[in-house]
Amino acid sequence: MVRTMLSAALVAASLAAPAQAQDLGDIVGGVAREYLSQEQDRAAFEQAQSRNTLRGYQSYLQQFPNGRYSEQARDQIERLGGGTTANRNDPYQGGTSGLTRQQRINIQRQLNALGYSTNGADGNFGPGTRRAVALWQRDRGYSQTGSLSTAQANEILRGTGTASRTSGSAAGVGVAGAEDDIGLSRSQRAAIQAALTRRGYDTRGIDGSFGRGTRGAIASWQQANGMQATGYLTAAQADSLLR
């Protein structure tokens, strides 16, 4: 095939006005580069097909967003539950296409609170958020796609305690903000970590900083005591642990 393409380039060059050798070399080189690009495109898509996973097709689109097989890749992503036809321009949209901007911001804030840095919380799921999502998925035994399924998005949003629009004056106030309102000092946070550790919930350190380990310990403690496992403390819960 490449020989045919090169021959065509040579014929075109011979029919044109006399060209410099450098011009002919540029033509041949351009054809060769185009052929190489097409071969790389084809090989990447075949690799995605062999894997036949959401992440595999997303990886192909990341390399060749307008490639020869991009529409087929998007169709496969949709078939695997990774997006909708309305969101074909964002192969990483995953099951989050129906989320509001505030819900996306809440997801980013929760990931940051759990120790997965998203490099900002602006509602835009860029590379930083995708890495954070993949790490969160890894730690929970999910496939590391970097894209949230609807169930995973809801799992994180439940952790933020995002309030319903019908909840009156409390609308939009999550449990993360409610915990901030308690105004726990660093020493009180350290005491809570110590209390959780004594109860068998490892906070991965007692330093007065509520990172991923502490959030996980709080959630486990809440679940074991029949509470909503948000990973954030209400005033009553904090008082219980500080006694």
pLDDT digits (tens, 9 = 90+) for 50-92: 988 878 888 888 888 777 888 788 777 767 765 543 344 443 3
pLDDT tens digit sequence for 168-225: 333 333 566 667 767 888 899 999 999 999 999 999 999 988 888 898 899 889 888 8
Cα(200)–Cα(221) distance, integer angstroms: 9
Retrieve residue 133's tokens: 């999502």
Indicate if the pLDDT at residue 121 is higher than 90: no
How far lies 200's CA from each of 61, 136, 184, 193, 240, in Å? 46, 23, 22, 11, 16
Indicate if the pLDDT at residue 241 is higher than 50: yes
Contact in structure between 78 and 86 (CB atoms under 8 Å) = no
The predicted model scores a pTM of 0.34
Mean pLDDT of the chain: 75
Among residues of the chain, what percentage have pLDDT more than 90? 12
Retrieve residue 234's tokens: 């209400």
Among residues of the chain, what percentage have pLDDT more than 70? 70
> Bigger pLDDT: 99 or 109?
109
How far lies 16's CA from each of 20, 24, 166, in Å? 11, 11, 73
**What was the pLDDT predicted at 164?**
34
| Percent of the chain that is helix, strand, coil (3-state, to 5) | 65, 0, 35
Phi, psi angles (nearest 5°) of residue 174: -90, 175
Retrieve residue 176's tokens: 């993360």
**What was the pLDDT predicted at 11?**
54
**What was the pLDDT predicted at 194?**
95
Burial (Cβ within 10 Å: 0-12, 13-18, ≥19) of residue 170:
exposed
pLDDT tens digit sequence for 152-167: 888 888 864 333 333 3
Q: From 198, 179, 187, select the one nearest 236 (Cα to Cα).
A: 179
Retrieve residue 75's tokens: 């169709």
Phi, psi angles (nearest 5°) of residue 17: -60, 155
Indicate if the pLDDT at residue 230 is higher than 60: yes
> Bigger pLDDT: 203 or 119?
203
DSSP character at residue 192: H
Contact in structure between 116 and 136 (CB atoms under 8 Å) = yes
Indicate if the pLDDT at residue 228 is higher than 50: yes
